[in-house]
Structure 1
Amino acid sequence: EIRRYVALYLSIRQKFLQSRVLLNTRGVNNPFLRMCYELRVIPADLPPWIGLPVTFSESFRGHDCEWQLAFYYYLRRKGFNFKDVSRNQIRNYVSGLEESSEEQEKACMNYRNFLISVDVDSNQKAADFAEEKIVRLISERLLAKRYEN
């Protein structure tokens, strides 16, 4: 059952990334594409650890790829690794967003903590990020949801 969720997640993520390029009318004025350009990455080739369904990610308006790429972009510009970023620095990042919230801060912390737990470094482009890590994340989220109910 979880493998189906992962396959669905990966399919939706890929369709989102393709649509960002194909349906784009603003060119590099599109913030998502601008960040991809400045990071020198093709949207379809974003590392698989960008766009993960972490807890509290629903506090962001856009797709998980959008807010996680923006967070990653911020870290790269500041010269931080995921392991080096403190809660206070995440709070500073979130406070600079248009409609910042405590839930967004929690989402960024959960994202950061998950990446640290699976040894992803923010300087890696396509790190050895096996599908098993996505299975683990989705499994944890489903179990948490079942436990809440």
Structure 2
Amino acid sequence: MFVAMNERRELINIVHYRERTSLLPLKEQHLYCPQCERPVILKIGTVIIPHFAHVKHSNCSESFAEGETLEHMQAKIQLYSLFERSPYIPQLEPVLRDCAQRPDLYVKDAEQHYVIEYQWTPISKKQLQKRTTNYIKANYPSFWLTKPPHSLRPNLIQIVRLTPFYRAVYESNERPYLYYYDPRIQSFYYIAPLIHIQNDRYIGHVQKIPYKDQTVPFRRDEPELSSAQIERYIHYYAHARMRRIEQAIRYERGNDTLLTRCHDLKLLPFELPNWIGVPLIDGHVFRQHALDWQFHYVHHCLMAEEDWSSEDTVVTYSARYGLSEAEHHTVEQYRQFLVQVRVNDLRDILSEATYFRHFEMTLVAKGQVN
């Protein structure tokens, strides 16, 4: 930890000591953890960053872990320095009594405030959600930054794989994009907009932002995508859709598959119209490819002779298959899309212009800040 408390209950922020020699007088003081108030000592090594540590093991570490990696400590210092140079007032490792947590940073200005958590090593989705929920209950909006995956290629539209941890971060942040930070090269990576393909695979526009160019509070408007960039998204998405059909033909067997639904409707898999399997703003709530769940809905409507453009049909469909509230909402998005493009028959095909426009509108919505 970088913040300790002296006998007068004054907070000592080690980051403000620029030289290691200036820290030496602190070793003569009685210092305490601001959270559990047990004794801590100052550690000044030749390799690791100077920091405070509990004298003995303390359950304080359950909410504020010691043994942080060098990268985590570097990131906290660099992020703190970034906010110190901004209109925001930052606090490093504050003790938030009303939610029994100690985030890496707490920042505020005249209008807003939020906590920042930096996570170099992954934690479980359950842990992340618990900490985020605790912040929300105590009225602390939170923002999570993480270590960037090795596979990112800056300034390109590409396939991005999100592990359960990264996906949980994406869903926890109240912004429709992902931010990573690498303290070793002092660079942010910003991915937006993200379009879900299937399982852990997304399409995203990766941008690399040098530390010196980063704005706060990490809000960076997505530049308007060019027609060529939108076409790149469409190319990746169409390729993934084709691969999903090929996968079904080669490997799927059973009574309720994409192939059996095609058989029921006397349709070859490659004849599926292009309005089945389209991206939607909240399509990521289904882990399967959009082709699967959208075709399931259309197949249900045709076999049950129900109108796929009816709100009542979505309600009965959701109840029959036990959809969650989020899944019901996404099926309703799809119903609205079908109404908008005015498809009434499996033989209907969207024009290239209509398909492009849908992609453009979806990407614009995904790139907006909530």
* Residue of structure 1 in register with 2:281 after alignment: 55
* Residue of structure 2 in register with 1:96 after alignment: 320
CA contact (8 A) 2:273 2:346 kept: yes
Residue from 126, 134, 137 that aligns with 2:358: 137
Residue from 64, 70, 75 that aligns with 2:301: 75
CA contact (8 A) 2:318 2:328 kept: yes
Percent identical among aligned pairs is: 26
Which amino acid is 1:118 matched to? V
TM-score using structure 2 length: 0.36
> For 1:11-60, what per-residue CA distance to the aligned partner results, in whole angstroms no more than 9, with x for missing partners?
11011111110123x2x535222111101111121111110111222222
Q: Which ranges in structure 1 are unaligned for 5 or more consecutive residues?
A: none
Helix, strand or coil at the partner of 1:79 = coil
Is 1:3 the counterpart of 2:231? The answer is yes
CA distance in 1 between counterparts of 2:328 and 2:352 reads 26
CA distance in 2 between counterparts of 1:143 and 1:55 reads 10
CA distance in 1 between counterparts of 2:338 and 2:303 reads 18
CA contact (8 A) 1:55 1:141 kept: yes
Offset, 1:144: 1.1
CA contact (8 A) 2:274 2:349 kept: no
CA contact (8 A) 1:6 1:134 kept: no
Residue from 310, 328, 331 that aligns with 1:105: 328
Residue from 242, 250, 257 that aligns with 1:22: 250
Which amino acid is 1:139 matched to? E
Count of matched residue positions in the alignment of Structure 1 and Structure 2? 142
CA distance in 1 between counterparts of 2:296 and 2:365 reads 26
Is 1:146 the counterpart of 2:367? The answer is yes
Helix, strand or coil at the partner of 2:368 = helix
CA distance in 2 between counterparts of 1:145 and 1:125 reads 28
CA contact (8 A) 1:48 1:126 kept: no
CA distance in 1 between counterparts of 2:308 and 2:256 reads 25
CA distance in 1 between counterparts of 2:359 and 2:237 reads 9
Which amino acid is 1:94 matched to? S
Of structures 1 and 2, the one scoring higher in RCO (CA 8 A, sep 6+) is 1
Helix, strand or coil at the partner of 1:82 = coil
* Residue of structure 2 in register with 1:66 after alignment: 292
* Residue of structure 2 in register with 1:114 after alignment: 337
Q: Which ranges in structure 2 are unaligned for 5 or more consecutive residues?
A: 1-228
Larger radius of gyration: 2
RMSD (Å) for aligned C-alpha atoms:
1.7
